[in-house]
């Protein structure tokens, strides 16, 4: 854990040190995000194959793809075509299996930190949340999905700009790495909808109906996406814990409280809706833990929503209290997750050890 503590401490130190330098806010954010990227990248890219539940599987897949003929590889692996092609391209550059971890770490972190640069109202806080809400560590395991998530963050900005064609293009590219990314397509229709309690109640009622017909819906999902039937009968079809739901519910409650006391905009309402979806899917994961995978697509937007919600508070002293309290709670949450071995990221080891 000392590697993660050192990395996080250096990121915080960088944020504080840059405050003492006479540069404008734009250059401050660029420098901070660049240094944060380097630190996050080193730890992710140089991790050993046992760091991250599925890292060893991705390395084994890379070793197989590099010796598989191009004409046969799409029928030989259960992964999406985009990810298979990426592995093949990387194998032409280097046959060392660590190269796929290095390349995917670069792609994931570049897309997410670039998303923070373009979207977040508080870049430092978003980076802190990316780490302390455990999303950074999940990316060690859900490599394909986090490439898709990074692409969907790009697509999110095209939702705001109402550029449907570019939005669809990035969603389709994301599905080339993880098919569940298609779940993001309908969100385009929700932007600009004014939320009220009747609409929230309708969504909650729809969720209850979904739970009632859960088994039938699941059979339909497996008929459309048969590759996910691979998980049936495994630990992924056991119920998960409630900690993720408690965190998602707390973020949703905070957002609702801020919405009730301050003036919000349509982006806030849209992000609040995504947070609601995150909470509902986290509840489903308590029944079938595989739904955590679906929740990854929604919960990542907490790194944008929380800073935006805090910035709705006009009192600077109260806003500072929010930052301190939320950071303290998420750090505590992260430590709990690390100690319990979630996604198997400790004890950290470099691949050369």
Exposed/middle/buried for residue 18 (C-beta within 10 Å: 0-12, 13-18, 19+)? middle
Give me the pLDDT at residue 12, please. Answer: 97
| pLDDT beneath 50: ranges in the chain | 237-239
- What is the rounded distance in angstroms from the CA atom of residue 315 to the CA atom of residue 320? 9
Give me the pLDDT at residue 22, please. Answer: 87
Task: Please identify which residue in the block is written with the tokens 């990035």.
Answer: 170
Give me the pLDDT at residue 238, please. Answer: 47
Token readout for 295 is 């929740």
Contact status, residue 300 vs residue 251, Cβ threshold 8 Å? no
Nearest residue to 188 (alpha-carbon basis) of 170, 209, 210, 173: 170
Fill in the DSSP letter of residue 193: P
Contact status, residue 319 vs residue 313, Cβ threshold 8 Å? yes
Beta bridge partners of 47: 350
Phi–psi pair at 173, nearest 5 degrees: -65, -40
In three-state secondary structure terms, 233 is coil
Give me the pLDDT at residue 230, please. Answer: 57
Name the residue ranges covered by the structural domains of the chain. Answer: 192-312
- What is the rounded distance in angstroms from the CA atom of residue 179 to the CA atom of residue 147? 12
């Amino acid at each position: 854990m000392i590697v993660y503590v050192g990395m996080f401490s250096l990121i915080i130190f960088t944020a504080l040190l840059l405050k003492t330098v006479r540069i404008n806010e734009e250059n401050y954010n660029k420098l901070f995000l660049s240094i944060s990227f380097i630190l996050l990248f080193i730890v992710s890219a140089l991790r050993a194959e046992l760091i991250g539940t599925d890292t060893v599987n991705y390395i084994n897949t890379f070793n197989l793809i590099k010796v598989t003929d191009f004409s046969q590889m799409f029928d030989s692996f259960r992964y999406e075509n985009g990810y298979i092609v990426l592995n093949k391209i990387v194998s032409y550059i280097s046959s060392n299996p660590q190269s796929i971890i290095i390349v995917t770490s670069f792609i994931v972190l570049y897309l997410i930190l670039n998303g923070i640069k373009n979207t977040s109202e508080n870049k430092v806080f978003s980076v802190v949340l990316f780490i302390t809400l455990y999303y950074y560590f999940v990316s060690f395991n859900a490599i394909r999905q986090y490439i898709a998530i990074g692409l969907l963050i790009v697509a999110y900005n095209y939702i705001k700009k109402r550029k449907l064609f570019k939005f669809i293009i990035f969603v389709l590219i994301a599905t080339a790495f993880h098919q569940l990314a298609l779940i993001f397509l309908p969100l385009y229709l929700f932007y600009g909808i004014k939320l009220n309690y009747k609409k929230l109640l309708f969504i909650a009622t729809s969720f209850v109906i979904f739970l009632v017909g859960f088994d039938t819906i699941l059979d339909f999902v497996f008929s459309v996406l048969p590759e996910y039937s691979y998980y049936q009968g495994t630990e992924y079809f056991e119920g998960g814990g409630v900690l993720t739901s408690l965190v998602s519910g707390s973020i949703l409650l905070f957002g609702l409280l801020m919405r009730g006391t301050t003036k919000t905009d349509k982006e806030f309402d849209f992000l609040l809706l995504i947070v609601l979806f995150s909470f509902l899917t986290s509840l489903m994961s308590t029944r079938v833990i595989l739904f955590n995978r679906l929740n990854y697509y929604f919960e990542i937007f907490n790194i944008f929503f929380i800073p935006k919600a805090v910035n709705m508070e006009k009192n600077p002293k109260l806003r500072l209290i929010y930052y301190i309290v939320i950071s303290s709670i998420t750090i505590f949450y992260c430590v709990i997750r690390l100690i319990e071995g979630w996604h198997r990221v400790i004890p950290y080891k470099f691949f050369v050890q």
